[in-house]
A = this chain, B = another copy of it.
Amino acid sequence: MEITIADKEVLMSEEKIVNDIIEGICPIRNIIASISDKWSLLVIYTLSQNPKMRFGEIHKSIPDISQRMLTVTLRSLEAGGLVSRQVFPEVPPRVEYQLTDLGYSLLDPLRGLVNWALNNMEVIQESRKNYQQ
């Protein structure tokens, strides 16, 4: 029996559906999926340093993010309701971002994780260095 491209597409979409179901049911999968992109947590942390920040300010705080990824990340956070975005119809344009209450509420558990990392980072790095085979 042969597998056609159409079959593959069906399989792919089924796989995606299964994946969505798993993530929908399993809260852990869900947070991991949200968290595990390269920039989101960093942007949230940056925004927590100031009440309001313009696009350029955020970019200055995270110099090595590309303009594209900063936009993509901010939009994604806005979609989730973690960040609000206010456009001022001026010339030149001004856009201000700030954490929503929901966004701020994430800071508490996040701090727990950061503190854990601060306390154990060196041990972990040492362990990694000495790990053989």
Contact = CB atoms under 8 A, between A and B. Distances in A.
A114 B38 contact: no
Interface string A9-45: 0000000001100100001111110111110011001
A111 B127 CA distance: 24
Contacts of A38: 32, 36
A23 to B, nearest CB: 10
Contacts of A106: 116, 120
A118 interface: yes
Contacts of A128: 79-81
A42 B109 CA distance: 18
B102 A112 contact: no
B81 A124 contact: yes
A114 B41 CA distance: 15
B81 A113 contact: no
A34 B131 CA distance: 16
Interface of A: 18-19, 22, 27-32, 34-38, 41-42, 45, 64, 78-82, 102, 105-106, 108-110, 112-118, 120-121, 123-124, 127-128, 131
